[in-house]
Structure 1
Amino acid sequence: MSNLENLRKQAKLYLRWHRERYFPVAAQIRWFLARFRDLPHREVLDTDFKLSEAQELVARKHGFESWPALIKGIETMTESTASSAGAPLIIAAEPQLFVSDIKISCRFFVNELGFKVGFSYGKPPFCAQVIRDGGRLNLRKVSGPVFDSSFRARERDALSATLTLDDIKPLFLEFQNAGVSFHQPLKTEPWGVRTFIVKDPDGNLICFAGGAL
């Protein structure tokens, strides 16, 4: 967790992005704040967005119900933890997948893998984000095939993204029951992690990994 001053800066940054109509922030506002969830992205940017709402957004991204709850959580941290809290903190990673058709890719992730579309931008769309729980994948349209045949022949198992879980088997069974085609079924790697791999319509390999047996 970042320290309080950094968290306040994060909230002010979200507020500024909203005022500047930075499109991706609308997706995060809709995802974390329920009262915005049914609004289209452009209406989110048109609606008044207060600092208190930006602070709530930061709190929810850190796993707290509200800004006061986040503050209380910081106050109850141990002294040793607090002493290291001033260092910059990477909160999450959002891998970018290159795809040939945003609509087809979104349909795959939603219908096959149970994701939701966080946002889709452009007419026709050239970028999007798909979300499932804490996992976020950014999709970026490119012209032509994403991978040439010689690359996949040489690098059959080259991954585009890895998503981690606390318990991987239930998700594997969910995908299996839904008829998802696996590039690699569930297995235990030599280093102890359990993984399975799914291939998207463009040949991107997405690895799901978890340690629970």
Structure 2
Amino acid sequence: MAADRLDHFFIEPSDFDATVAFYRDGLGWLVRFEWGGQGAPRGVALSGGEVGVVLAERHPAEDHSKSHGINGHRPTLHFKVADLDARYAALQAQGLPLFAPEATHWGTRWFVVKDPDGNLLAFESA
């Protein structure tokens, strides 16, 4: 059995500032790191303890992070895996991944699958 561990979910909010305020100020989640600003699309990773949320403004990307746009503003679940290539091979044998493992612009490697309802599940490793 795979040992995928839910790490965070990704949201591309319609109102970035209001959504950050909701998680940070309303729920009291801690900011782990932020990026962008000064004309660049902004993003923030917050932690609610065992699970986190990554909020990011819409942005063009050379990597497949643009795949989040497949679902508009629907969340993407991110799972940490110990062996990304082995997990990819197992899921690829079933025809599930949308693309092969690749480097992300935030410093990990990942691939993404889509469930029958179109929800995205990202599998990542450092």
| Alignment TM-score > 0.5, same fold | no
Higher strand residue share: 2
TM-score by length of 2: 0.41
Higher helix residue share: 1
TM-score by length of 1: 0.26
